[in-house]
Amino acid sequence: MRQVGILTADLSPVLCDLVAGAGVAFLVIDAEQTGITAGNCAEVVRRLRHAPVEVAVRVPDCAARTLLEFANTGVHELVLPRLKSPDELADAVAATRYPPDGHRPRQVSLASGYGRQYSAVPRLTVLFETVEAVDAVDSFVRSPFFEGGWVGPTDLADDLDRHGRGSAELGRAVDAVATAVNKAGHSLGLPAGDLDGIRAGFAKGADRCAVYWERYLAVVLGQLASQRIA
């Protein structure tokens, strides 16, 4: 089933209320290089807990302590940036799963219903934004821990340039990830700038598209400001 959501660093109560009321399928919180904390994410989870909206967070890094902090917020999904190998995914699973599947401590937190149950764990998805991750996509999708992926085209284009492969290869890299993830029967998410971007993302094989909220809003406001009222 195809889903549309938004990717944002705006955690205002008004936006959360709009998301809940508009029927948006999911909200991806961008906590990478934005200063958003696990506490901020927990507030969003509390605000949306009775709405049919899945909350995901693109975490700042994949250190075990970071993953544990964000897992304890009760979000549905952790999007893992800068991964390069399936071994790193296995480490992330160990950090976010309770024994015997991992070494996550049974902390009293929002995720555990403040100690009432310890069965809920976040889905872990891989953000393909490095050349190494793209080259290893077949190994990722064969991993028993792989639960879906996203593509970060901006950072991936930069990494392709750094590796001397040129950002012109971006389209082929995205297609390679989409083909491997779809063939393995997993979910794939792509970002979009607008409605046309959503259609293009679905055409590329994504089943989830996340609109860059701030970018989209800036374009709409610019269009409004350019109008001349007679």
Q: Which two tokens stand for residue 141?
A: 């999708």
pTM: 0.94
What is the CATH number that goes with domain 3-226? Answer: 3.20.20.60
Give the angle 172-173-174 at the CA atoms, nearest 5°. Answer: 90
Q: What is the pLDDT of residue 33?
A: 86
170-180 pLDDT, tens digit each = 999 999 999 99
Cα–Cα dist 108/157, whole Å: 41
Residue 216 has pLDDT above 60, yes or no: yes
Cα–Cα dist 155/199, whole Å: 22
DSSP 154: H
Q: Domain extents for the chain?
A: 3-226
For helices 38-48 and 13-22, give the axis angle rounded to 10 degrees: 40
Cα–Cα dist 191/201, whole Å: 7
The one-letter code for the residue type at 92 is A
54-102 pLDDT, tens digit each = 999 999 999 999 999 999 999 999 999 999 999 999 999 999 999 999 9
Cα–Cα dist 47/11, whole Å: 10
